[in-house]
Amino acid sequence: MTAPFNTAPVPKAELHCHIEGAASPALVKAQAGKYNTDVSGFISGDSYVWSDFTEFLTAYDGAASLFRSEEDYALLARTYLEGIAAQNAIYAEIFVSPDHAAAAGLSHTAYFDGLAEGIRQASESSGIECRMIIVGVRHLGAEKVEAAAKLAASRPHPLITGFGMAGEERFGEVAEFARAFDIARDAGLGITIHAGELAGAESVRDALDHIRPSRIGHGVRAIEDGALVQRIADEGVVLEVCPGSNLALNVYPEISSHPFDRLRRAGVKVTLSSDDPPHFASSVGREYQMAADAWGYGAPDLTDFTRTAIEAAFVDPQTRAKLLGQLD
């Protein structure tokens, strides 16, 4: 038997990580100590505790509620980015949620400045590049998502380069959110949207028709419709695939039934991300290793996923060229 391929040295990039979902239980427990709060409802020992998507969102919101200052967010961003830089990640995009910051009593300015400070520190210590994508939360409704889009369109920080939507995909119709995305697109922001994770192929088709994104968060359930897979391949829409998340949330029962490799073979541009890493016992490094173990990828395939991510990244041409140069 040949030894498993060690993906550690492969340069990596992830386009899909929610910063509030990247807080480890240890960090959240430290924050709970700082703010004298009980987290036993959603953390037990070193693990988050939830059993379905709704409970996951409760744990996610509980963790987010414990980041209440600029310094808290600087610490969170730096910790996450230095952790993945140690796995040879050269680039990451983080989803940032002004609604979560506001719920924790933090101003938008303090939220973005804190995150940017953590990004600066991690970049200085490790060289990693990072950009922020503002997300609206779908289950808060179209008005809130539109407010998030207007905030993003006001270009509140130079590191904010994209707009997206997360949250409960089964809430409402995607057409209700089209105006928010029009506002963000008109402001020149990159566009991505969660679809085809909790809902099926029709949700991905609706997202393409009404939102016109260059990338889709997850998108994996497009596999349920062959014509749609062909359309995604033909249009060059990039999927931010998060296999570990899909397994943990039971979108697929095991890696052997996950469609990542089938999508790739159908000509779809695929990338690998961790989504909410400690909730799913994952990290970008683990996603690359899992994919190599499951589908036999070597360094050239895995580097291709990184190249696809950097080509689809919401960055300026100089930064893109610099990052692509790091793959040679």
- Chain positions 246 to 285 lying near Zn ion, rule: CB under 5 A, are 275
Does residue 60 bind ligand ADE (CB under 6 A)?
Answer: yes
- Residues contacting 227, CB < 8 A, separation 6+: none
142: Cα within 13 Å, side-chain hemisphere: 12
Closest distance of CB 218 from Zn ion, Å? 7
Answer yes or no: are the C-beta atoms of 148 and 136 closer than 8 Å. Answer: yes
Does residue 194 bind ligand ADE (CB under 6 A)?
Answer: yes
275 is in an annotated binding site: yes
Q: 196: how many CB neighbours lie within 10 A of its CB? A: 29
Does residue 99 bind ligand ADE (CB under 6 A)?
Answer: no
- Chain positions 251 to 270 lying near ligand ADE, rule: CB under 6 A, are none
Q: How far is CA 295 from CA 6, 286, 290, in A?
A: 14, 14, 8
276 is in an annotated binding site: yes
Does residue 18 bind ligand ADE (CB under 6 A)?
Answer: yes
Q: 171: how many CB neighbours lie within 10 A of its CB? A: 14
Pick from ligand ADE, Zn ion, none: which does 21 bind, CB < 5 to 8 A by kind?
Answer: ligand ADE
3-state secondary structure of 63: helix
Closest distance of CB 55 from Zn ion, Å? 16
Which one is catalytic: 129, 169, 197, 240? 197
173 catalytic? Reply is: no
99 is in an annotated binding site: no
Closest distance of CB 195 from ligand ADE, Å? 10
Q: How far apart are CA 328 and CA 321, in angstroms?
A: 11
Does residue 93 bind ligand ADE (CB under 6 A)?
Answer: no
Closest distance of CB 200 from ligand ADE, Å? 15
Beta-bridge partner residues of 12: 89
- Residues contacting 124, CB < 8 A, separation 6+: none
List active site positions.
197
Binding residues for Zn(2+): 16, 18, 194, 275
Residues that bind Zn ion (CB under 5 A): 275
